[in-house]
Amino acid sequence: MKITDHIKKAKGETLFSFEIVPPVKGKSIQELYRNIDPLMEFKPPFIDVTTSREEYIYKEKDGLLDKKLTRTRPGTLGICASLKHKYDVDTVPHVLCGGFTKEETEYLLVDCQYLEIENVMALRGDARKEEKYFTPTKGGHQFASELVKQIHDINQGKYLHDTIESNECGDFCIGVAGYPEKHMEAPSLQSDLKRLKEKVELGADYVVTQMFFDNKKFFEFVEAARALGINVPIIPGIKPIAVKRHLQLLPQVFRVDIPQELIEAVEACTSNQEVRQVGVEWAIQQSKELKAAGVPVLHYYSMGKSDNIKDIAKEVF
């Protein structure tokens, strides 16, 4: 079922969903199952599975370092199919611009269709670790809006090199990212909202936001989006702080502000176990307020761990 249909079916009730990261290449999927199992009691209608782009690694060869391009966390589509089969839940693979040509994207989408995966999250993706700025893959897309258009075209039977008149072409529900505190590369929040509107006009069906820790910023973002004519569902993304290092890491990597009250609570902790509890309690309060405001879904960034997400969900759902 499409995400938008899950939302309609809920008739105003806030749904629970979460996002997972594929295991490192060579690792078993069983650990992933063990982390997902405790969350299934909250009946998530869908689970997102991230896609990691390629990166350079160095291997010693004949006494020299050989530079190789590889993906350390492949398997997104396989995991989506596995979770769909094991849990009878809809899965949402992340589809990236970075690291993929347009042809590779088309093949991926055809595979999704054969696996009866109806939802995809269209993202530009990050720059590679050794790059300061995002560089498009040769033969690939530069912007998420271009990726949205390609997916929407397939829904109309328009492939890269063919137009097919058929009732059995793709029918994907397309998700895109939104940034309550603006994308790190956007010159202003207003310009970022215009880019979001462009993605919706090109075919995006719903928005999932970057993490945030101040609900006021989310509510202001939604209000500004609606004023600009963006009327698709906007789903808040929540990530609980779990270790002290998050105070530096999350603002640095994701360009998000952390409220002073939360900073002081984390700094007062004497162990990461205490930090984890502070993060859980903050996310519970965030979630309750967002749920009371009628958000369609609360989407949690689990990063493959479920204990703190379960502690939050049992207080909210």
Q: CB of 147 within 8 A of CB of 124?
A: yes
Tell me the residue type at 165.
Answer: E
Closest Cα partner for 91 from 28, 3, 178?
3
Distance of CA 306 to the CA centre of its chain: 16
- H-state helical runs in the chain: 3-10, 30-36, 76-87, 102-114, 144-155, 189-201, 215-227, 246-254, 260-267, 272-292, 307-316
DSSP for residue 22: P
The active-site residue, picked from 19, 106, 118, 181, is 19
Q: Is 281 among the residues known to form the active site?
A: no
Whole-angstrom distance, CA of residue 64 vs CA of residue 212 = 44
Closest Cα partner for 120 from 86, 154, 88?
154
Distance of CA 30 to the CA centre of its chain: 22
Active site positions, annotated: 19
